[in-house]
Structure 1
């Protein structure tokens, strides 16, 4: 599956615990990444500063669903289910 242009759900829903360019404390779940532009496109896509977490994320129907709204729900659910107890 190719990324849905203008979705940005993977740049909002997941938590990134490692510091990265522009976000020295990482990113909280549900927080919009500072590199996500107004069109919901990653400003670091293809750049070496892009976090490993983001480079390794693959768009899949199971996590991206059929729409941006569904992707946000699915990714938020995965984030909640993967939180340490």
Structure 2
């Protein structure tokens, strides 16, 4: 599955525990990344400062569902199920 352009669910729903430019403590689950544009595109895409976890994310129907809203819900659910 390819990412849905303009979705951005993976930049909102999960937590990111590594530093992000402008977010030195990472990002809590459910908080929009500072680098997510108004068009829901990653402003760090292809940049060396983009967190490895972001670059490693692979869209999958099990995680992303069939819409942006479903992706936010599913990723949020996965976040809760895997939280330490």
SS of the residue aligned with 1:17? coil
Which residue in 2 is equivalent to 1:74? 74
Aligned-residue offset at 1:75: 0.1
SS of the residue aligned with 2:26? coil
Aligned-residue offset at 1:22: 1.7
Aligned-residue offset at 1:21: 1.5
Structure 1: distance between partners of 2:42 and 2:57? 13
Matches within 5 A, 1:38-49: 38-49=38-49
Q: Give the superposed CA RMSD.
A: 0.6
Matches within 5 A, 1:19-34: 19-34=19-34
SS of the residue aligned with 1:45? coil
Which residue in 2 is equivalent to 1:54? 54
Moved over 6 A (4+): none
**TM-score normalised over the length of structure 2:** 0.97
